[in-house]
Amino acid sequence: MKSLIRTLAVGVIAASCYVGQAYADTVISPLDKSVPRTHAHNDYEHEYPLFDALHNGFISVESDIWLYGTDLRVAHDPVSNPTTLPTIEDLYLTPLQDLASQVNNGGIYADGTPLLLLVDIKSEDVSTYERLHNVLTTYAVNNPGLFTTYTKNASGGYDTQKGAVNVIISGNRPRDYMLSQDLRYAAYDGRADDIGKGIAPEFIPLISGNWNTFFNGDLAWDGIGTIPDDTKAALDDIVAQVHGENKILRFWNLPQDAPSVWGPLYDANVDLINTDNLAGLSTYIQSRQTQAVPEPSLSIALLGVLGTSLLLKHRRQSQSLIDPQS
């Protein structure tokens, strides 16, 4: 596995015009066992995109994309010369294809855990998504089982086939276009106003939101010290609503990217904790896992393999082992 990662890392850097001896001299291997609740915000801004996250066991990574001609370039902001930017194929799709083939267990990690790839569209929604869908289609045809697929059935719902990578579209999301598709290789990232609308988790498996959208006014918290009781109660209520719809939850723009906030999110069973501090969050969650009965599997692993309803059932069973009176 280490030789594979070394080869992939060098290939990514060469293809992306990020040339550096550090890649050739550094072996960056995924952890054998992934770490639950972990989401790498703006993953491409780290020294080794994707590989730093995998090295820390992350189950979810985020990539922003812009459409330049037919190229999907990875960056937070537009640039005058897009050829200086790597493509999503270079940084993510080809390495993930190769990793999935290498482990050959239905996931990306040696323990079989798939990866959530959150693709944040920064350019125009429909044209960018159309191009992304075409790119994903090419990979999917050549690598069956690489992506989770959603096929519209006769009843108007979706039949889901699990994959090693769960792609979810964020940012500028072409909702109507995606709803019109008979076959998708990506799901839709929901928002606060999608809660309680009865939308199928096969279309919206994830609710993401700006922390300040949910917690403002009397519920505002700067992330320092103990979370206020009213804020904690509101957080617990949001988690219960989202989980009640068999969906998973993520907040961005957290008040602090530190244990003072990670702890309350972990305690509340927030499924993905947003961070720029990969090593810090990974270490923190692993330390928390040693203090209680570990989750039977990871959020995204169970999402891909069993569906969200069984994920949440397993989580409740795990909690009952920790607290038999609950």
- How confident is the model over 288-303, as pLDDT tens digits? 998 765 554 445 444 5
> Mind spelling out the 3-state secondary structure of the chain?
CHHHHHHHHHHHHHHCCCCCHHHHHCCCCCCCCCCCCEEECCHHHCCCCCHHHHHCCCCEEEEEEEEECCEEEECCCCCCCHHHCCEHHHHHHHHHHHHHHHHCCCCCCCCCCCEEEEEEECCCHHHHHHHHHHHHHHHHHHCCCCECEEEECCCCCEEEECCCEEEEEEECCCHHHHHHCCEECCEEEECHHHCCCCCCCCCCCEEEEEHHHHCCHHHCCCCCCCCCHHHHHHHHHHHHHHHHCCCEEEEECCCCCCHHHHHHHHHCCCCEEEECCHHHHHHHHHHHHCCCCCCCCCHHHHHHHCCHHHHHHHHHHHHHHHCCCC
**pLDDT value of residue 303:** 53
Tokens of 196: 């309680």
**pLDDT value of residue 155:** 93
Number of residues in the chain: 326
Phi-psi region of 305 (alpha: psi -120 to 50; beta: other; left: phi over 0): alpha
**pLDDT value of residue 291:** 78
**pLDDT value of residue 22:** 39
User: What does each C-alpha distance from 151 to 159, 163, 180, 309 come to in angstroms?
Assistant: 5, 13, 11, 19
234 vs 219: CA distance, rounded Å: 8
Would you list the domain boundaries of the chain? 2-322
Q: Which residues of the chain have pLDDT under 70?
A: 1-27, 292-326
Q: At what angle do helices 259-267 and 229-244 cross, to 10 degrees?
A: 50
For 2-322, which CATH superfamily applies? Phosphatidylinositol (PI) phosphodiesterase (3.20.20.190)
34 vs 59: CA distance, rounded Å: 7
Q: Which residues in 244-253 are b (16+ Cβ under 10 Å) and which e? A: ebbbbbbbbe
**pLDDT value of residue 7:** 46
**pLDDT value of residue 319:** 46
142 vs 94: CA distance, rounded Å: 12
Tokens of 303: 């999402």
**pLDDT value of residue 28:** 76
Phi-psi region of 116 (alpha: psi -120 to 50; beta: other; left: phi over 0): beta
**pLDDT value of residue 295:** 55
Q: Is-contact 178 188, C-beta < 8 A?
A: yes
